[in-house]
Amino acid sequence: MGLRVGGLVSGLDTAALVDSLLALERRPLDQALQRKAGIELEQSLFRDLNSKLLAVRDATAALDNLNSSLSGASVDEELLEFFATSSDENVLVATANGNASTGTSDVTVSELARTARRVSTSFATDTEAIAAEGDTITIQAGDQTVEITVGAGGTSLVGLRAVINDNADLRGLVRANVLFDGTGHRLIVEGIATGVANDVGITTSFPGNGGGAFFDPDISSSATDAQLVAFGVPITRSSNVVSDVIPGVTMTLRATSPTPIQVQVERDDAAIADKLQTFVDAYNEVVDFAESQARIDPESEQAGTLSGDSTLRGVQRTIRRNIVNQFSFANNPFTSLGQVGVDVDSSGRLTLDADALAAALDEDPRGVRELLGGDGTVDGAFSSLARALDPIIEPDTGILAVRDDGFEERIEGIDRQVERIERRLEKREELLVLQFTRLESTLASLRGQGDSLASLVTPSL
């Protein structure tokens, strides 16, 4: 805004006159900004709709047993959930995933997998040299063999610990420590990983205390494998975490036991219901959104911004059609979501009957799975819905992405228009201020001339 000169001579409120004139010329600007606000509101609503549809898509992805591109089966089971229990968790703890099956298995644990431990003979101190320059210590851990040569001045137990732990080739394979046992100090080298294949062997060119072997074989121990019996079959594993014996079950071995431990797997109906409830809630969010746009506001007596929008109506039809469709698979007793506890109420929202879902799972769990995800050739309810949603919510070329790009283009066009109008108004304001300033100057000059003429014709006293 330029410098304004008030109507000191004319008595006019020139600032108010300029503002009034500019207010008339600002109407196109106000209208453009109003259009922009309306477009931004519409864009925001569609982005909100997109987020809600993404939530529906994510919920179907957690249940359809297809990969993310819908081109094949998922790696892991997505609908069915199981839990496992152990008859003695002091011996083993069991967990289950969706690839498990109900049933009970007997497991006997006769040996735990352990790491190797090599313990040196005892020395009076841990800081005096025990190896001379040029002496070597060779460590074999798994398939890695490393020879360390003692440097100038020799080394102590503490020094050996440092060179072992700092060796890049041994990192992640072994760790060294120095222990005071109450009467002397010992170097302890332990393997990181359990199992015979990860055993640690150490040889030194320098002796232990007293001239014998550096490491004491009586208190050292080799790595061992876990030994167990399942299904009557002896099994060896390098780790105490065993996930490839009972399908879908991971057992963590904690102790040995001469008697079999029972591992029981049951279907987790509550977890399955939670997954379906997540979908039901996401679907209902979309219904609530569409209803809010159609509802007439009692004060403004107008419907929502997207009322009657063809894109929104198309989305509604798409998701509703895939929910109420009938599906048919060979030897499958279920043809609709209502038969597995997912019903549509009078408002178009979904409800979940957990008892009906559990009954369907009891009757034919694989049938429920097929109804939702299809049979690999024909889509089920959720896989068909996912396939129908993808062209709508695809981030680059989807229907909503294209609409959003259109909004952005319109907003950018209005921004350019606003910029042009503001430049024009700025120049118009400068011109008006200049004109009124000249008016005041002209009036001031005329007044001065009048005062001079008046003084000439006025008789002197």
The terminus-to-terminus CA distance of the chain in angstroms comes to 51
DSSP state of 381: H
The whole-number pLDDT of residue 299 equals 75
8-37 pLDDT per residue, tens: 455 566 677 777 777 777 888 888 888 999
Residue 93 has pLDDT above 60, yes or no: yes
What pLDDT does 303 receive? 78
Task: Report pLDDT for 367.
Answer: 95
b/e map of 351-376 (b: 16 or more CB within 10 Å)? Answer: ebeeeebbebbeebbebbbbbbbbee
Which pLDDT band holds residue 352 (cuts at 50, 70, 90)? very high
What value does the mean pLDDT take over residues 182-199? 97
Where residue 294 falls among pLDDT bands split at 50, 70, 90? confident
Rounded to 5°, the CA angle 347-352-355 comes to 140
Stronger pLDDT, 111 or 435, i.e. the higher one: 111
Measure the CA–CA gap between 109 and 111, rounded to whole angstroms.
6
Q: What are phi and psi of 357, to 5 degrees?
A: -65, -45
| CA pair distance 8, 13, nearest whole angstrom | 9
Question: Average pLDDT, stretch 137-156?
Answer: 95
* Unique residue bearing structure tokens 């864009």: 43
Output the pLDDT for position 3.
Answer: 47
Q: Which pair of tokens denotes residue 114?
A: 């352990």
State the pLDDT at residue 12.
60
Q: What SS3 state is found at 143? A: coil
Phi, psi angle pair for 250, to nearest 5°: -110, 125
In this predicted structure, what is the pLDDT of residue 1? 46
121-132 confidence digits (pLDDT tens): 999 999 999 999
**How long is the chain?**
461
pLDDT at site 430: 75
Q: Is the pTM of this model over 0.85?
A: no
Paired tokens of 399: 């229907």
**Is 233 exposed, middle or buried, given 0-12, 13-18 or 19+ CB atoms closer than 10 A?**
exposed
Over residues 301-325, mean pLDDT: 87
Model confidence at 177: pLDDT above 90: yes
Sign of CA dihedral 402, 403, 408, 410: positive
Give residue 179's pLDDT: 97
Token representation of residue 358: 């559990």
Sequence spans of domains, the chain: 1-79+269-441, 82-113+226-267, 117-204
Q: For residues 74 and 58, give the distance between their C-alpha atoms in angstroms, rounded to a whole number.
A: 14
